[in-house]
Protein backbone atom coordinates (compact mmCIF):
# COMPACT_ATOMS: atom_id res chain seq x y z
CA UNK A 1 0.00 0.00 0.00
CA UNK A 2 1.45 3.35 -1.05
CA UNK A 3 2.36 5.76 1.70
CA UNK A 4 -0.05 8.65 2.00
CA UNK A 5 1.62 12.01 2.46
CA UNK A 6 -0.04 15.12 3.82
CA UNK A 7 0.29 18.54 2.22
CA UNK A 8 3.76 20.05 2.22
CA UNK A 9 3.26 23.03 4.53
CA UNK A 10 6.68 24.52 3.72
CA UNK A 11 5.95 24.49 -0.01
CA UNK A 12 2.48 25.91 0.57
CA UNK A 13 3.92 28.69 2.74
CA UNK A 14 6.49 29.56 0.08
CA UNK A 15 3.79 29.73 -2.60
CA UNK A 16 1.73 32.01 -0.36
CA UNK A 17 4.70 34.21 0.40
CA UNK A 18 5.52 34.54 -3.29
CA UNK A 19 1.91 35.37 -4.10
CA UNK A 20 1.92 38.06 -1.39
CA UNK A 21 5.14 39.58 -2.78
CA UNK A 22 3.68 39.72 -6.28
CA UNK A 23 0.38 41.15 -5.03
CA UNK A 24 2.04 43.89 -2.98
CA UNK A 25 4.27 45.01 -5.85
CA UNK A 26 1.42 44.91 -8.36
CA UNK A 27 -0.99 46.90 -6.19
CA UNK A 28 1.55 49.60 -5.38
CA UNK A 29 2.27 49.95 -9.08
CA UNK A 30 -1.42 50.09 -10.02
CA UNK A 31 -3.01 52.07 -7.20
CA UNK A 32 -0.12 53.69 -5.33
CA UNK A 33 1.06 53.05 -1.81
CA UNK A 34 -1.63 55.08 -0.04
CA UNK A 35 -4.44 53.02 -1.61
CA UNK A 36 -2.72 49.68 -1.09
CA UNK A 37 -4.05 47.81 1.95
CA UNK A 38 -3.35 44.55 3.71
CA UNK A 39 -6.87 43.45 2.75
CA UNK A 40 -6.19 44.25 -0.88
CA UNK A 41 -2.89 42.38 -0.87
CA UNK A 42 -4.53 39.37 0.76
CA UNK A 43 -7.37 39.34 -1.77
CA UNK A 44 -4.97 39.63 -4.73
CA UNK A 45 -2.71 36.91 -3.32
CA UNK A 46 -5.59 34.57 -2.46
CA UNK A 47 -4.72 34.33 1.23
CA UNK A 48 -6.38 35.42 4.45
CA UNK A 49 -5.23 38.74 5.88
CA UNK A 50 -4.29 36.96 9.10
CA UNK A 51 -1.67 35.07 7.09
CA UNK A 52 -0.06 38.40 6.24
CA UNK A 53 -0.27 39.73 9.79
CA UNK A 54 1.32 36.52 11.04
CA UNK A 55 4.42 37.23 8.93
CA UNK A 56 4.57 41.04 8.75
CA UNK A 57 3.52 43.87 11.10
CA UNK A 58 2.47 46.32 8.36
CA UNK A 59 2.00 46.81 4.64
CA UNK A 60 5.29 48.73 4.61
CA UNK A 61 7.09 45.66 5.94
CA UNK A 62 5.40 43.50 3.28
CA UNK A 63 6.47 45.87 0.53
CA UNK A 64 10.03 46.12 1.81
CA UNK A 65 10.49 42.36 1.82
CA UNK A 66 8.84 42.06 -1.59
CA UNK A 67 11.11 44.75 -2.99
CA UNK A 68 14.23 43.16 -1.50
CA UNK A 69 13.24 39.91 -3.16
CA UNK A 70 12.69 41.72 -6.46
CA UNK A 71 16.10 43.38 -6.22
CA UNK A 72 17.74 40.05 -5.37
CA UNK A 73 16.18 38.35 -8.40
CA UNK A 74 17.25 41.24 -10.63
CA UNK A 75 20.83 40.98 -9.34
CA UNK A 76 20.86 37.25 -10.04
CA UNK A 77 19.63 37.87 -13.56
CA UNK A 78 22.40 40.45 -14.02
CA UNK A 79 25.02 37.87 -13.09
CA UNK A 80 25.45 38.38 -9.37
CA UNK A 81 26.78 35.48 -7.33
CA UNK A 82 25.12 33.96 -4.31
CA UNK A 83 26.73 34.67 -0.95
CA UNK A 84 26.85 32.29 1.96
CA UNK A 85 23.82 33.98 3.48
CA UNK A 86 21.70 33.23 0.46
CA UNK A 87 21.76 36.85 -0.71
CA UNK A 88 23.04 37.91 -4.09
CA UNK A 89 26.37 39.66 -4.30
CA UNK A 90 27.17 41.90 -7.25
CA UNK A 91 30.37 43.86 -7.76
CA UNK A 92 30.96 46.98 -9.80
CA UNK A 93 33.18 45.84 -12.69
CA UNK A 94 36.87 46.61 -12.42
CA UNK A 95 38.27 46.92 -15.93
CA UNK A 96 41.04 49.25 -14.79
CA UNK A 97 39.11 52.25 -16.14
CA UNK A 98 37.30 53.79 -13.17
CA UNK A 99 35.39 56.32 -15.23
CA UNK A 100 34.04 53.70 -17.63
CA UNK A 101 33.15 51.32 -14.80
CA UNK A 102 31.25 53.98 -12.84
CA UNK A 103 29.40 55.13 -15.93
CA UNK A 104 28.33 51.55 -16.60
CA UNK A 105 26.89 51.05 -13.12
CA UNK A 106 25.32 54.50 -12.88
CA UNK A 107 23.64 54.07 -16.25
CA UNK A 108 22.22 50.76 -15.03
CA UNK A 109 20.98 52.56 -11.91
CA UNK A 110 19.25 55.17 -14.08
CA UNK A 111 17.58 52.42 -16.09
CA UNK A 112 16.34 50.75 -12.91
CA UNK A 113 15.04 54.01 -11.46
CA UNK A 114 13.14 54.70 -14.67
CA UNK A 115 11.72 51.16 -14.82
CA UNK A 116 8.07 51.21 -13.61
CA UNK A 117 8.57 47.79 -11.99
CA UNK A 118 11.15 49.30 -9.62
CA UNK A 119 10.08 52.93 -9.54
CA UNK A 120 6.71 52.61 -7.78
CA UNK A 121 7.88 50.47 -4.84
CA UNK A 122 11.11 52.46 -4.55
CA UNK A 123 9.23 55.75 -4.23
CA UNK A 124 6.74 54.22 -1.80
CA UNK A 125 9.49 52.89 0.45
CA UNK A 126 11.43 56.15 0.30
CA UNK A 127 8.35 58.11 1.35
CA UNK A 128 7.22 55.64 4.02
CA UNK A 129 10.75 55.44 5.41
CA UNK A 130 10.55 59.14 6.29
CA UNK A 131 7.38 58.58 8.33
CA UNK A 132 8.32 55.18 9.75
CA UNK A 133 11.88 55.54 11.04
CA UNK A 134 12.24 51.82 11.79
CA UNK A 135 11.19 50.86 8.26
CA UNK A 136 13.50 53.50 6.80
CA UNK A 137 16.44 52.19 8.83
CA UNK A 138 15.73 48.63 7.73
CA UNK A 139 15.47 49.70 4.08
CA UNK A 140 18.82 51.48 4.38
CA UNK A 141 20.51 48.59 6.18
CA UNK A 142 19.25 45.81 3.94
CA UNK A 143 19.28 47.45 0.52
CA UNK A 144 21.03 50.82 0.34
CA UNK A 145 24.12 50.17 2.44
CA UNK A 146 25.10 46.94 0.62
CA UNK A 147 24.85 48.85 -2.68
CA UNK A 148 26.89 51.76 -1.36
CA UNK A 149 29.62 49.40 -0.15
CA UNK A 150 30.08 48.29 -3.76
CA UNK A 151 31.10 51.85 -4.65
CA UNK A 152 33.48 52.01 -1.70
CA UNK A 153 35.22 48.79 -2.78
CA UNK A 154 35.62 50.01 -6.37
CA UNK A 155 36.92 53.40 -5.20
CA UNK A 156 39.33 51.67 -2.82
CA UNK A 157 40.74 49.70 -5.74
CA UNK A 158 41.10 52.92 -7.75
CA UNK A 159 42.87 54.62 -4.86
CA UNK A 160 45.30 51.73 -4.55
CA UNK A 161 45.97 52.06 -8.30
CA UNK A 162 46.67 55.78 -7.92
CA UNK A 163 43.51 57.00 -9.62
CA UNK A 164 41.98 58.59 -6.51
CA UNK A 165 43.73 60.84 -4.01
CA UNK A 166 44.79 59.07 -0.81
CA UNK A 167 43.16 61.58 1.55
CA UNK A 168 39.71 61.28 -0.04
CA UNK A 169 36.86 60.22 2.26
CA UNK A 170 35.35 57.43 0.17
CA UNK A 171 31.93 57.74 1.79
CA UNK A 172 31.70 61.36 0.66
CA UNK A 173 33.11 60.36 -2.72
CA UNK A 174 30.39 57.79 -3.37
CA UNK A 175 27.74 60.30 -2.31
CA UNK A 176 29.03 62.67 -4.99
CA UNK A 177 28.10 59.94 -7.46
CA UNK A 178 24.79 58.58 -6.19
CA UNK A 179 23.46 61.69 -4.44
CA UNK A 180 22.74 63.80 -7.54
CA UNK A 181 21.06 60.89 -9.31
CA UNK A 182 18.86 60.15 -6.29
CA UNK A 183 17.99 63.84 -5.93
CA UNK A 184 16.92 64.24 -9.56
CA UNK A 185 14.93 61.00 -9.42
CA UNK A 186 13.21 61.69 -6.11
CA UNK A 187 12.23 65.29 -6.81
CA UNK A 188 11.75 64.89 -10.58
CA UNK A 189 13.64 68.14 -11.16
CA UNK A 190 14.80 67.17 -14.68
CA UNK A 191 14.87 64.00 -16.80
CA UNK A 192 17.09 61.22 -15.48
CA UNK A 193 19.20 60.12 -18.45
CA UNK A 194 22.39 58.28 -19.33
CA UNK A 195 23.95 61.60 -20.36
CA UNK A 196 23.28 62.99 -16.91
CA UNK A 197 24.75 59.90 -15.24
CA UNK A 198 27.90 60.23 -17.38
CA UNK A 199 28.24 63.91 -16.47
CA UNK A 200 27.89 63.16 -12.76
CA UNK A 201 30.73 60.62 -13.01
CA UNK A 202 32.93 63.05 -14.91
CA UNK A 203 32.34 65.93 -12.52
CA UNK A 204 32.91 63.74 -9.46
CA UNK A 205 36.08 62.15 -10.77
CA UNK A 206 37.54 65.53 -11.64
CA UNK A 207 37.45 66.38 -7.95
CA UNK A 208 38.65 62.95 -6.79
CA UNK A 209 41.56 62.59 -9.19
CA UNK A 210 45.18 63.36 -8.30
CA UNK A 211 46.33 66.81 -9.42
CA UNK A 212 48.35 65.48 -12.35
CA UNK A 213 45.25 63.79 -13.73
CA UNK A 214 43.16 66.94 -13.28
CA UNK A 215 45.80 69.00 -15.08
CA UNK A 216 45.64 66.53 -17.95
CA UNK A 217 41.86 66.88 -18.08
CA UNK A 218 42.11 70.67 -18.04
CA UNK A 219 44.35 70.59 -21.09
CA UNK A 220 41.86 68.62 -23.20
CA UNK A 221 40.12 70.09 -26.17
CA UNK A 222 36.63 71.16 -24.95
CA UNK A 223 35.21 69.23 -27.88
CA UNK A 224 36.79 66.04 -26.52
CA UNK A 225 33.87 63.77 -25.48
CA UNK A 226 35.86 62.79 -22.39
CA UNK A 227 35.73 66.38 -21.08
CA UNK A 228 33.18 67.02 -18.31
CA UNK A 229 29.82 67.84 -19.87
CA UNK A 230 26.89 69.96 -18.83
CA UNK A 231 25.20 67.97 -16.03
CA UNK A 232 21.84 69.31 -17.11
CA UNK A 233 21.98 67.42 -20.40
Q: Which residue range is the domain that position 190 belongs to?
A: 91-218
CA 25, 30, 32 angle in degrees (round to 5)? 80
pLDDT tens digit string along 69-87? 998 888 787 665 443 334 4
Percent of the chain with pLDDT over 90: 72
Residue-wise pLDDT tens digits, 177-226: 999 999 999 999 999 999 999 999 999 999 998 876 655 555 554 444 44
**Structural domains in the chain (count):** 1
- pLDDT tens for each residue of 8-63: 455 668 899 999 999 999 999 999 999 999 999 999 999 999 999 999 999 999 99
- Residue 169 has φ and ψ, to the nearest 5°, of -80, 110
Residue 232 confidence (pLDDT) above 80: no
pLDDT at 4 over 50: no
Question: Which domain CATH number covers 143?
Answer: 1.10.357.10
Has residue 5 been placed in a domain?
no
Give the pairing type, strands 88-89 and 81-82.
antiparallel
In a domain, 52, yes or no: no
Amino acid sequence: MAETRGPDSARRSERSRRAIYDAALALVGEAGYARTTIEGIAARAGVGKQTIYRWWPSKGAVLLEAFLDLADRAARAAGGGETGGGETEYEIPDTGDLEADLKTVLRATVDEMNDPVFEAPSRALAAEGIVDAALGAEFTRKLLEPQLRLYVRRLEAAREAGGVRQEIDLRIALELLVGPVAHRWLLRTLPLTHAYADAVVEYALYGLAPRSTRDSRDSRDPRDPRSPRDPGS
